Amino acid sequence: MSNVTDIKVGVIAGIAGLVVAFFVIAQLGEPWADRSSQFLDPGGTGSEAFASPEVADEVALATAPGRARDEPASAAPRSATTRAPATPSAAADGASPSDARASGPRAERSERATPAPAQPARSASSSTIPAAYTTVRVTSDMPIMAEPGSGTRIGTLGATSRYLAEQTTAWVTRTTPDGAWGQVWVPWEQGRRRGWVDLRGSATTEADVVVHISLSRRELSLVRGGSTEWTVPAGIGGAASPTPPGRYWVTDMVATGNPTGPFGHYAFGISGLQDRLPPGWTGGDQLAVHGTNEPHTIGHAASAGCVRLTAEALDRMREDVQLGTPVIIER
C-alpha cells in the first residue's frame, strides 16, 4: 500500500509542478502585452476627439526601459557591407551603389481583398533618395558639431535611442573626403538641423535600402539601390495632426507582443518628433511606422502623426529594414 500511496503522491506533485510551470510561462510569453500603456493612452483624457479616427492613434513610442526584439543590435543590414574604422564614402545623401547587393522581396500578403501592386516611386530621384549610403554604429555619445572639427556643438548623437534605449545606428548623409567626419541629422529635434560627427574609430556600414513615404499618395515604398521594389498603402496623420515631412532613420524595432493592440504586432520607431500633437494628448511624441487595430484607416489621413501599415506590410519591411535605415517622408 505504501508504494501505491507514494506513486499517487508523486503523480499529484508532478501535476502541480506542471500547472505552476505553465502559469509562469504564460506570464512571460508576451512581455509587452501588459505594458501597452507605455506607448499611448488612447482616449485617456476623456476628450471626444480621441474617439474619432482622425486622432485615435498613438503618435509615439513613449519611454520604456527595455523590450523584446528580433535580432541583436549589432546585426548588419542584409544588403550591407560593414567596415571599421570609417573610410571615405560618397557625396551628399548617398553614393554610387558599387558594393550594394540586392535580394529579392518576399511575395506580400495583404489584409485588403486586392493587394496593392508594386509601383515605380514617382517622386524618387537621385536628389531625394540615396542609391547607397553609410551608417555608423554609436557605442558612446558623440558630439554633433556645426562643421567638421569645429568647436561649435549643436547636439548629441546618443549611444542609445531616447525612448527605448536601443543601441544607436545612425544614417550618415555624407562624409568628408578623408572619411573622418560624417554628416547626420540631429535626432528628435523640431528644427531639423544637420551637423557632423567624428567617425574615426567607429564601425560604419554601407547599405542601399531606403523607406520612402509619400504623404500626398498615402503610400510607403521600399527602395533598393534607387529603384522601388514594392509599394503599399499607408495611413498618415490627420488634418489636425499631420505627419511631419523629413529625413529620419530607424532608431527602434519593437515586437509589441499585442497584435490586436493599437500598434499592431510590430513598430519601427524613427528619429523624428510630432510637433503638432492633438489637444489633450497624453502619450509620447516620437514618430513611428507601425500596425493598427483599425485597418480601415490604412490609405487615409487618420492618425495622430504616425504611419500605419498592415501586418503583412510590416513583416515585409522586417526582411530588409534595420536600425539606421533611412526613412524619408515627403509631401
Q: In sequence order, what are the residues at sequence separation of 6 or more whose Cβ sits closer than 8 angstroms to the Cβ of residue 48?
A: none
pLDDT of residue 150: 83
pLDDT of residue 281: 81
* CB-count burial class (<10 Å; 0-12, 13-18, 19+) for 72: exposed
| Residue 165 pLDDT > 60 | yes
CA-based max dimension of the chain: 88
Q: Tell me what the pLDDT averaged over the chain comes to.
A: 73
Q: How confident is the model at residue 68 (pLDDT cuts 50, 70, 90)?
A: very low
| Residue 284 pLDDT > 50 | yes
Which residue in this structure is represented by grid cell 506513486? 7
pLDDT of residue 153: 95
Q: What percent of the chain has a predicted confidence (pLDDT) above 70?
A: 62
| Residue 76 pLDDT > 80 | no
pLDDT of residue 177: 96
Give the tens place of pLDDT for each residue, 176-222. 999 999 999 999 988 789 999 999 999 999 999 999 999 999 999 99
Rounded to an integer, what distance in angstroms lies between the CA atom of residue 305 and that of residue 288? 8
Pick the closest to residue 69 from 252, 300, 299 (CA basis). Answer: 252
Q: What percent of the chain has a predicted confidence (pLDDT) above 90?
A: 56
> How many CB atoms sit inside 10 A of residue 41's CB?
16
| Residue 142 pLDDT > 50 | yes
CATH number belonging to the domain at 38-68+209-330, selected among 2.40.440.10, 2.40.160.20, 3.30.360.10, 3.60.130.10: 2.40.440.10
| Residue 311 pLDDT > 70 | yes
Question: What's the average model confidence in pLDDT over 14-32?
Answer: 41
Q: How confident is the model at residue 34 (pLDDT cuts 50, 70, 90)?
A: very low
Of 10-14, 141-145, 169-173, 221-225, which gets the smallest average pLDDT? 10-14
Q: How confident is the model at residue 251 (pLDDT cuts 50, 70, 90)?
A: very high
Pick the closest to residue 73 from 223, 177, 205 (CA basis). Answer: 205
Q: In sequence order, what are the residues at sequence separation of 6 or more whose Cβ sits closer than 8 angstroms to the Cβ of residue 157?
A: 138, 141, 142, 143, 144, 168, 170, 184, 187, 197
